[in-house]
Every structure is written in structure tokens, then in C-alpha cells.
Chains A and B, each alone.
Chain A
Amino acid sequence: MSWISALGPLQWLLLLLIPPAVLSLYFLKLKRRELAVPSTLLWRRTLEDVHVNSIWQKLRKNLLLYLQLLFLALLILACMRPGWSGQSRIGERRIYIIDNSASMQATDVPPNRLDLAKKKVRELLSDTSADDVGMVIAFSDRADVRQGFTKDRGRLFSAVDSIQATSHGSDVSEALRAAAGLANPGRSSFDNLSDIMVADAIPATVYLVSDGAFGDLGDFDLGKLKMEFIPVGEAKTQNLGILSFAIQRNEDKTSQLEAFARITNQGDAKVDFTASLELDGMLLDASTGSVDAGQEAGLLFELTDMDQGQLKLTLDYEDALKVDNVAYAAIRPAKQISVLLVTPGNAALETALQTARVQQIASVQVESPAFLTDPKYQAATLNAEFDLVIFDQCSPSQMPSSNTLFIGSVPPSPSTPAIPISKPGEEPHSDGWKFGQPQGPVFILDVNRTNSMTQYLEMASVDIVEARTIDPGESGTVLMTSDVGPVFGVAPRGPFQDAVLGFSIVQATSEGVGVNTNWGNRRSFPVFVYSTVEYLGGGITESSSPSVQPGWPIGLLLSNRFKDFRVVAPDGHTTELSRGDESRHTFTKTDELGIYQVFAKGVEKPVESFCVNLFSARESNLAVADSIQMGYEKVAASGSIVQARQEIWRWVLLLGLALLVVEWIVFNRRVFI
């Protein structure tokens, strides 16, 4: 039995003044009903023996008084909040970490795991004393501090109530780091910094309410945190989940698509299931399969004559977790990159642009430098008809409204009038770009592996007769460095990107075409051309849209032809995007499962689509962990019954109220007692 004061000292004083007040009222007996009787003779004699005794004698047999005093005693007892099995928890810090990842949507415990977890936390909250401070953190694959440390229990309750189920994965480490950082304010929570105690660490208790579907926490140090793991959910829960769903083009028959799905069975019994595939809401195909307990099974659908559409795979199987029974995939809208190659003649480049891979993603138009003066070119560049313009050994008078690649030439300066062909020895320049004099021979020493244009290039055996150094300026990136300096770089120009290669592949001279480098014969050259077309042209090579897990960001390659885009989520919610300088845009509002479509302003058909799928074996596995590993420490589940302070003050108060009722009855009918 332990006691918690529910009142302040002044309130206690007032409360303790009540019993003497009641007693004095009994002495005074202020209100009495007058009743005329024939004679008080007998009453006087009756009362005489009472009067001869002390006034306490009078009170001795007053049942009503005792009932009232008993009621007051119970009231005081209730205010002391008697309870059991609780240590002194005054002023404790409690951190409630609630899992709201996808697996918490499982309905193996009614109504579902998340609601049960919230209920348990509410129970814990209601058992805390008024001096305790609490914090509520929800976590899925990220931590979300719903309520910082507060004594206000109402805010803690509403913070718990506000937690909604998500389809995200689970990663508790961020939540624990947040708890550690906030619980021990003086302690640095950065792992790579040395811990500096600027204040005394205050111990806190962490109540981790989860199904434990997160991995080991590695070397997470609890420090002063006391961890209590409260598992929710049933240990053995049958669940079937889709682990992956992808569309691939048949290598032999390019018109044919294949849809693969991987199904996992996380239960302990073999399961027969039916999977149905829908295209744009219409049933396309169905397949049956079976998967053994703890095993995975594959599904293959062959799709023919399909250009684009949205595929939805549904497992027709009733299990606890519904979100992993659905997977989405979108067939990419056929999109061709339109490339303009302006060259006086470059066999290697033209050949590289004729490969099957490039042809699949791009349509290439080859023109001579004379085309640059053609009004058609002017109109085409103004209308942004080309995604990429490659200037080989030539330079336009004005930069086109598209991404560009200059090979052996330099972009025109915006202030100087355009010259169709650059002459050796000249010093053309562009904004931010600086170019050196051609010199040679040159050897490539290093390539930038982080850029997709150069990441697969092997330039060690490439000989270059003559090259000029380039400097893409502050905002640009050097992609290739030679013994004389950088020779290949890329830099943004408004919404576009310009790449400049400081050496030409072939050099047309008055004596004919001379080879400047042997790169054109190397295997890395077509790779370079393909990567460049893909990168600068915004090419999409996959036949199916990319898929991310819920809540994860997705990088969108937005065509430079449009400025404004909007992303339509599966639930119809629209997000406006404005293409900035970068063609790559990171989209983060991927909480909803399903297919997202990206529309360009003024274009009816979606220019891009992507899917959000759960695809998480960990979330599909509904087995409830009985302990969690925290570095070297193992935290066992504290049982589904929360070790909470069992308080009886409500019962005492109820008893008091019942007593009050009895007292009322006695007051009205006491003559019969």
C-alpha cells in the first residue's frame, strides 16, 4: 500500500477542518423542527438520563454523525490515493513510445494492435501521479514526438489519441534517440560526439509499446533510460504478404511484359491463396498458389499488348494484416527522349546513338551545323521540342531551351554574338564557365563516380591528342579530370543543365577528319553516350514505374520541357510541384499505398508515375517479439498485463458515495433502525 497526495497542503488543511466542523454542527444542532406534544413530561424523563451523562454521551449513539464522519474519513482516504505495488513515482519521467508502423494495423487483437497499444498507454497514463512528467513519441520508420515532456495529462491523452496508423516500416532507434536526448537533456545524443554531461542525467522510464517488428538496435546505449517493453499482439498470427511486385519487359519479345510477385507466408501453416491482378480497375488475370509456412512463393503473370496502365495485385486471403495483401505497379508510359545531334560528322558518336538501348529510349535527329541557322531550329528550341541537344564541334549563337552537351566546343557567351563554329585559339566563355587553351597530349586521371553520366566509365586506356581544360564554375561539377586539369564538367543553367567535354572525338580540319582520341573505339564510349542521353535527356529506361516504401522519398526526374507539375496521390490528393534548377525532384508525401501520377501542366496524360508499396518482410511478419535486444542488454517483455499501479481511490470514493446514500436513507428513516 502506498500513498500519493492528491491535494496541496492548503487543501489538506481545509479538508481536515471539515470533521471538527461536522462535530460542532452536531453540538449546535442548528435546525430542528418544532413539534407540539401533549406534554414533555415523559420526554423530559427520557432525556434526563442522557443529560446526566456528558455531551459525548449524546454523540455516542448518534449513528448519523458516525456515518458522516466515516464518509469524511473515506473522502480523506480517497484523496490520499492509496494504491498497491507502486514505488514512489513522484516526479518520474515517463516516455511512451508507441509503434504506429504498418504491422500495428494487424487485427489479431481487437480492435487492432495500434488501438490496443493506445489503450495500454492510456492505462499507464491514468496510473501516473500528478507530479509525473510524460512524453509521447510515435514511431514508424521515423520518430514523431507528439508531445514533449509535460505534466498535463490531458495533453498526453490527446497526443496518444492523435496517433494514426501508418503504412510505414519500423525503426525504433530514432525514437529511442529522441527519448534519450529529451530524457537526459544534458547529454549529447550524437553518437559521433563525445558525451558531455552539462547537467545531471535524470533517469526516465521508457514504455515501448510495440509488436517488436523492428530489428536489433545494435549498440544503442540506453544510458539512464529504464526500458519497459510492452508487446501488443498475438504471438502466432497467420499472415500472407506480398514482398515484391515488379514488371519487366521480356528480353526476347519486347512487346511482352512480365509481372512478378513474391509472396511470403509468415504463419505456421501452409496457405492456399488466390491472387487477382487488375489493370486500371478491371480484372485482368488471376492465379492460385500455395506457400508453405515460413516460405516464399513466386507468381508470374504474362501481359501482352500492353503499353501503359496501372496494375494492382490483390491476395484474396483473410489474414490479420490487410495492407500487405495489395501491391501496385504501373507500366511506364512509353516516353521517347528527343535528341538533336548537331555535328559536321562524327561516326563514333552517331554509331553510339544508334545502339538498341539508346533507340529504345530516345529518338535522335542528326543535323549539320548549318541547321542552327534554320528557322525550324529556332522554333524547335523555343518550343522545347528537344530534351537534349548535342553540339559536336559546333556551338549555337544562343543556348537552346533544353539540356545540352558540347563535345569539343564551348557554349556561347550570352553577351557575344553567336559564332557557328569555334575557332581554335579563341577564348569563348559562358556564365561561370572558364575554358583553357587546347593542349596535349592529355591523359584522364580520374572520373566522378557519383554522377550517373560517368559512373561506369573506364578511361585509363583512353588517349587524347588535344584537350582544353574546363571549369564549370561554382555551381557546376567536374566529372573528368586529366593530367592538365578538368576536361569534362556539368553545370546548371536555369532549369537546364549543360555538359561540356573539353575534347572532341574527331576533329574536322581542312585536311579531312582527324581522330582526336581513341575513346570512340573503346567500350566505355557507348556507355557514356547512353548514360548521358539518359541523364541529360531525362530518359526512363525501366518499363515499370519505380516503387518506394511508404514514407520514403522518391526522386522524380522531371522533364525540362515543363515547369509546373502536380502529383496526384491514390486518394486523389494533389501536390503541386515546381521544377527548380534541378531536373531531379524529391517527393516525400508517399504515405498512401498505391500509384501516384505526375502530370505536367497542360498535358492530359501523366508524364510519370510511381508506386508506393509496403514490401516489407518485417512488417508482414506479425510474430510478436518477447524481448528486444538493446546493444548488450536484452529487454524482456513486461507481459501483456501492464505492471501498473493499482489504485483504489475511485472505489473508496464510490464507497463513500454509497455511504452517503445510506446516510440519506438513515436520515429520513432512522427511526426504524
Chain B
Amino acid sequence: MAESSTITSSKPSSAILSAETMAKLERMELVSRKIFRGRMKGERRSKRKGQSVEFADFRNYVNGDDLRFIDWNLFARMDRLYLKIFLEEEDLHFYTIIDDSMSMDFGEPSKFFVAKQIAASLAYIGLCRGDRVSVSSFETSSNPNVIRGKSSTHRLLGHLESLSCVTSATTMAESIKRFCVKNTGKGIVVLVTDLMNKSGYESALRMLVAREMDIFLIHLLSPEELSPAVQGDLKLVDCEDGDQREVSISAGLLNRYHQTLAAFIEQAKSFCNKRSITYVPARSDHAADVLVNEYLRSKGLVR
């Protein structure tokens, strides 16, 4: 564990997933609190009844039912026709959406890199379990790259490498809307973002909630945001929209900033809790695999 954390934190430019991390992730499994219908046969129980070895229920025979599913033993005892219903096992839809706004490009390692690490870790777990994995950014949310199977790992990593922060002012809400339009299937959505969106994040999350997805929000903040090491008379320039704020840093102002930050986090947390969204705060200076191995495990996303 310590080794991998060293690798990820001290070598931010290294590969998104190291071999050790991948070995650890192979033993894990994504957990959904809800049972969703899959699209193909998979390893997960589905709500849909179908052909599997898992017995679900009996029901009366009606005309037209497949005679192969009649429980003849029960017919012999009860002299009535009953049909045996089995649970269908299907695949899980697992979506990861990474915030690719310019604000994610801050920190050392940058929040965007850490977000990609988290996304890669979770997606790899899904690939190993035969889930349907899709990793996208806000920019590419309308065109998700859906992959399946462990053999597609290189495609996953290649796709992640190709992602970068963009300056286009794609709002979070727009991206999620496009995502929801394109991906009709239900499943787990992991949203890795810093929530630094001036138009708000609430509408975007509401849309996801409305899709009845199992939503995980990984709120990734850099140390620059958590405790800014600034001093003097400054003109703060927003890297996204160029907004300027003149501040004279003082202890009082910093205190107020911390209060604002705490309120911001508390507000996000409370919003998520009310809507059954799992809120996971994370720091970009902490190793991603630690987050996945320990923190997300405790939150119930992986086991």
C-alpha cells in the first residue's frame, strides 16, 4: 500500500495505473446498492427474471408459457401447473464522468490527473468483473466510450490519456444533460469533480438522480483550495472565466475563506445526502489508490 502511494504521489507523470495497483484492483468488485437491468448477460443479478441458476419464485402457468419452466415435481404433488421463475444475471453499467474544466488542472499532482487515476482504478475493477464500463469527461459525455472485458484495459487507459482539461465553458449541467440523453441505461455513476462551477452543480446532480442511478460524487479538492498559501494584496484571476477579485490577504479574510469552504463542502454533502448520492470528499495530494482501496471501500462502492 505504501509503495503504491509513493508511486502515485511522487510520480505524478507516471502511468495512470501501476502494475501493483492493477493487481490489487483485480481482487475487487464494484458494488451497487441498487439492482439494475443490464443490457447483456453478465455476472450480476438482474431485476429481470430469466435463465440462470438463481431461483426466484413460482407463478401460475398461463397459456403460452414455456413448458420447459414448468415444475413437474410440484405438478405431481399439487396437480396444478406452476412455473419456476429464475433470476436473470446481467452486466452492470458503470459510468465515470470526470470534470475536465480548467480548475481541475491545479495542484501538484493536478486534480485532473488524480481524477483520471480514480476513474482508471474504478473502471479497471469493472472491466475485471465483466461490467460495462464507460469513462468520459464533461466534454466527451455525449459520446461515451463504452468498453467491456479485461482485455480492453489498454483501450481504457489510452482513452484516459487522451483526455485533457479544456477551456471551453461547458457547464456541468449541460454535460450531464447530454450524458443522460445518450445513456439510457441505469447503473453506477461516479462523478469526479471539484464542484467549482459558478452556475451550480445542483441541477446536474438532480438530473442524475432523476435517472435513478446509483450516484457517487467524489469531491476532489487541491491543497491550494483547502488552505491557500497566499499573502499580500492580490488580484485573483479565475482561470476559467477570467473573473478578477481584488483581495488583501489578512488573517481575518483567510478565516472567512475557510468558513466559506467548510460551508461549501457542508452544503454539497447535505445536498447529496438528501438525494442518496454518496458524497466522497478527496484531496488531490492524497494517493488515488488509497482512496479507492480504503475510502471507497468504506463507502461501499467497492469490495
State the main secondary structure of chain A at its contact with B: helix
Confirm or deny: B117 has a beta carbon within 8 angstroms of a beta carbon on chain A: no
Tell me whether B233 and A32 are in contact (CB under 8 A): yes
A45-53, A98-106, A383-391 - interface stretch: A45-53
B226-254 toward A: CB 8 Å interface, digit per residue (1/0)?
00101111111111100111111111111
Confirm or deny: B196 has a beta carbon within 8 angstroms of a beta carbon on chain A: yes
Q: What CA separation (Å) do A152 and B105 show in the bound complex?
A: 70
Confirm or deny: B141 has a beta carbon within 8 angstroms of a beta carbon on chain A: no
Q: What CA separation (Å) do A157 and B269 show in the bound complex?
A: 79
Residue among A35, A39, A45, A671 with most chain B CB within 10 A: A39
A633-673 toward B: CB 8 Å interface, digit per residue (1/0)?
00000000000000000000000000000000001111111
Chain B neighbourhood of A605, CB < 8 A: none
Tell me whether A29 and B234 are in contact (CB under 8 A): no
Confirm or deny: A54 has a beta carbon within 8 angstroms of a beta carbon on chain B: no
Tell me whether B235 and A49 are in contact (CB under 8 A): no
Confirm or deny: B72 has a beta carbon within 8 angstroms of a beta carbon on chain A: no
Chain A neighbourhood of B61, CB < 8 A: none
Chain A neighbourhood of B243, CB < 8 A: 40, 44
Tell me whether A46 and B260 are in contact (CB under 8 A): yes
Confirm or deny: B106 has a beta carbon within 8 angstroms of a beta carbon on chain A: yes
Distance of A161 from chain B, by nearest CB (Å): 51
Tell me whether A29 and B198 are in contact (CB under 8 A): no
CB within 8 A of B103: which of A38, A46, A670?
A38
Tell me whether A41 and B196 are in contact (CB under 8 A): yes
Closest B residue, CB atoms, query A58: B248
Residue among A33, A38, A43, A673 with most chain B CB within 10 A: A38
State the main secondary structure of chain B at its contact with A: mixed
Tell me whether A42 and B260 are in contact (CB under 8 A): yes
Closest B residue, CB atoms, query A49: B256
Tell me whether B198 and A41 are in contact (CB under 8 A): yes
Chain A neighbourhood of B234, CB < 8 A: 32-35
Tell me whether A33 and B260 are in contact (CB under 8 A): no
Confirm or deny: B257 has a beta carbon within 8 angstroms of a beta carbon on chain A: yes
Closest A residue, CB atoms, query B246: A32
CB within 8 A of B264: which of A45, A62, A64, A669?
A45
Chain A neighbourhood of B238, CB < 8 A: 37, 39-41
Q: A32-B234, A671-B230 are in contact. Are A38 and B247 (CB under 8 A)?
A: no
Confirm or deny: A63 has a beta carbon within 8 angstroms of a beta carbon on chain B: yes
Tell me whether A29 and B260 are in contact (CB under 8 A): no
Tell me whether A29 and B247 are in contact (CB under 8 A): no
Q: A29-B246, A37-B224, A670-B250 are in contact. Are A42 and B264 (CB under 8 A)?
A: yes
Tell me whether A29 and B196 are in contact (CB under 8 A): no
- Chain B residues 193-212 with CB under 8 Å of chain A are 194, 196-198
A1-37 toward B: CB 8 Å interface, digit per residue (1/0)?
0000000000000000000000000000101111111
Tell me whether A34 and B254 are in contact (CB under 8 A): no
Q: What CA separation (Å) do A42 and B257 show in the bound complex?
A: 7
Tell me whether B231 and A61 are in contact (CB under 8 A): no
Distance of B108 from chain A, by nearest CB (Å): 13
Q: What CA separation (Å) do A50 and B234 show in the bound complex?
A: 16
Tell me whether A47 and B245 are in contact (CB under 8 A): yes
Q: A32-B246, A47-B247, A672-B251 are in contact. Are A42 and B235 (CB under 8 A)?
A: no
Q: What CA separation (Å) do A32 and B244 show in the bound complex?
A: 11
Tell me whether A40 and B236 are in contact (CB under 8 A): yes
Chain A neighbourhood of B161, CB < 8 A: none
Confirm or deny: B225 has a beta carbon within 8 angstroms of a beta carbon on chain A: yes
Closest A residue, CB atoms, query B248: A62
Q: A29-B233, A32-B246, A44-B243 are in contact. Are A673 and B251 (CB under 8 A)?
A: yes
Confirm or deny: B67 has a beta carbon within 8 angstroms of a beta carbon on chain A: no
Q: A35-B235, A37-B224 are in contact. Are A671 and B245 (CB under 8 A)?
A: no
Confirm or deny: B222 has a beta carbon within 8 angstroms of a beta carbon on chain A: yes
Q: What CA separation (Å) do A37 and B252 show in the bound complex?
A: 20
Confirm or deny: B56 has a beta carbon within 8 angstroms of a beta carbon on chain A: no
Q: What CA separation (Å) do A42 and B225 show in the bound complex?
A: 9
Tell me whether A35 and B246 are in contact (CB under 8 A): no
Confirm or deny: B1 has a beta carbon within 8 angstroms of a beta carbon on chain A: no
Q: What CA separation (Å) do A47 and B250 show in the bound complex?
A: 12
Q: A46-B256, A670-B249, A671-B251 are in contact. Are A39 and B230 (CB under 8 A)?
A: no
- Chain A residues 609-653 with CB under 8 Å of chain B are none
B24-48 toward A: CB 8 Å interface, digit per residue (1/0)?
0000000000000000000000000
Q: What CA separation (Å) do A417 and B157 show in the bound complex?
A: 151
Tell me whether B194 and A37 are in contact (CB under 8 A): no
Distance of A650 from chain B, by nearest CB (Å): 33
Chain A neighbourhood of B251, CB < 8 A: 670-673
Tell me whether A31 and B233 are in contact (CB under 8 A): yes
Q: What CA separation (Å) do A31 and B245 show in the bound complex?
A: 13
Tell me whether A43 and B250 are in contact (CB under 8 A): no
Confirm or deny: B181 has a beta carbon within 8 angstroms of a beta carbon on chain A: no
CB within 8 A of A46: which of B106, B197, B253?
B253
- Chain A residues 42-85 with CB under 8 Å of chain B are 42-47, 49-50, 61-64
Chain B neighbourhood of A63, CB < 8 A: 250
Confirm or deny: B74 has a beta carbon within 8 angstroms of a beta carbon on chain A: no
Q: What CA separation (Å) do A33 and B246 show in the bound complex?
A: 9
Closest B residue, CB atoms, query A40: B238
Distance of B150 from chain A, by nearest CB (Å): 36
Chain B neighbourhood of A41, CB < 8 A: 196-198, 238, 264
Q: What CA separation (Å) do A448 and B180 show in the bound complex?
A: 146
Chain B neighbourhood of A673, CB < 8 A: 250-251
Closest A residue, CB atoms, query B239: A36
Confirm or deny: B261 has a beta carbon within 8 angstroms of a beta carbon on chain A: yes
Closest A residue, CB atoms, query B195: A41
Q: A32-B246, A45-B260, A670-B249 are in contact. Are A38 and B224 (CB under 8 A)?
A: yes
B72-87 toward A: CB 8 Å interface, digit per residue (1/0)?
0000000000000000
Q: A32-B233, A32-B234 are in contact. Are A42 and B250 (CB under 8 A)?
A: no
Q: A671-B249, A672-B251 are in contact. Are A39 and B103 (CB under 8 A)?
A: yes
Tell me whether A671 and B261 are in contact (CB under 8 A): no
Chain A neighbourhood of B254, CB < 8 A: 671
CB within 8 A of A671: which of B102, B197, B250, B259?
B250
Tell me whether A38 and B222 are in contact (CB under 8 A): yes
Chain A neighbourhood of B237, CB < 8 A: 34-37, 40
Q: What CA separation (Å) do A344 and B7 show in the bound complex?
A: 146
Chain A neighbourhood of B232, CB < 8 A: 33, 667, 670-671
Tell me whether A33 and B245 are in contact (CB under 8 A): no
Chain B neighbourhood of A670, CB < 8 A: 231-232, 249-251
Tell me whether A38 and B196 are in contact (CB under 8 A): yes
Chain A neighbourhood of B264, CB < 8 A: 41-42, 45
Closest A residue, CB atoms, query B196: A39
Tell me whether B230 and A35 are in contact (CB under 8 A): yes
Nearest 10 pairs of A and B residues by beta carbon: A39-B196, A38-B103, A671-B231, A32-B235, A40-B238, A38-B106, A46-B260, A46-B257, A39-B103, A40-B245
Q: A29-B233, A670-B249 are in contact. List 19 more A-B contacts (CB 8 A).
A: A32-B235, A34-B237, A37-B224, A38-B103, A38-B196, A39-B198, A39-B238, A39-B239, A41-B196, A41-B197, A43-B257, A45-B260, A46-B259, A47-B245, A49-B256, A64-B248, A667-B232, A669-B231, A671-B232
Q: Can you show 10 pairs from A to B with CB atoms below 8 A apart?
A: A33-B232, A35-B237, A39-B225, A43-B245, A45-B260, A47-B245, A47-B247, A50-B253, A670-B250, A671-B230
